[in-house]
Amino acid sequence: MALEDAKNQVDEAFTRKDMRGCSFENTFGGATSFLRRRYSKDLTDVDIAVTGVPFDQAVTNRPGTRLGPRAIREASTLQAFDPPYGWDYCVLDEFSIVDYGDVAFDYAKVSDFPDALTNHIRGILKAGAASLALGGDHYVTFPILKAYAEKYGPLSLLQFDAHTDTWADDDMERIDHGTMFYKAVKMGLVDPARSVQVGIRTVNEDPLGVNIIDAREVHETGPAAVVEKIKSILGSHPTYVTFDIDCLDPAFAPGTGTPVWGGLSSGQAAIILRDLAGINMVGGDVVEVSPPFDTTGATAIAGAHVATELLQIWGATRRKG
Domain ranges of the chain: 41-316
247-274: pLDDT as tens digits: 999 999 999 999 999 999 999 999 999 9
Mean of pLDDT values over 42-71: 97
pLDDT of 317 above 60: yes
Q: What is the pTM of this model?
A: 0.97
For position 321, what pLDDT does the model report? 60
The highest-confidence range among 9-13, 167-171, 234-238, by mean pLDDT, is: 234-238
Residue 264 in contact with residue 120, Cβ under 8 Å? no
Q: Tell me the C-alpha distance between 147 and 117, whole Å.
A: 9
Superfamily of chain region 41-316: Ureohydrolase domain (3.40.800.10)
* Percent of the chain predicted with pLDDT > 70: 98
Burial (CB count within 10 angstroms: exposed 0-12, middle 13-18, buried 19+), residue 297? middle
Whether residue 112 is annotated as binding a ligand: the answer is no
Q: Where residue 178 falls among pLDDT bands split at 50, 70, 90?
A: very high
Q: Give the full edge-to-edge strand order of the sheet including 97-102.
A: 97-102, 48-53, 130-135, 281-287, 239-244, 156-160, 196-200, 211-214
138 labelled binding-site residue: yes
DSSP code string of 101-135: EEPP--TT-GGGHHHHHHHHHHHHHHTT-EEEEEE
> Angle at which helices 266-275 and 223-234 pack, to 10 degrees?
40
* Ligand-binding site membership of 165 (annotated): yes
Q: Which residues face 264 on adjacent strands?
A: 248
Which alpha helices (DSSP H) does 112-214 contain, by range? 113-126, 141-152, 180-186
What is the mean pLDDT of the segment spanning 138-163?
98
Report the distance separating Cα 190 and Cα 145, nearest Å.
8
Predicted pLDDT at 3: 56
According to the annotation, is 305 in a ligand binding site? no
Please write the tens of the pLDDT for every residue from 190-244.
Answer: 999 999 999 999 999 999 999 999 999 999 999 999 999 999 999 999 999 999 9
Query: Has 206 been labeled as part of a binding site?
Result: no
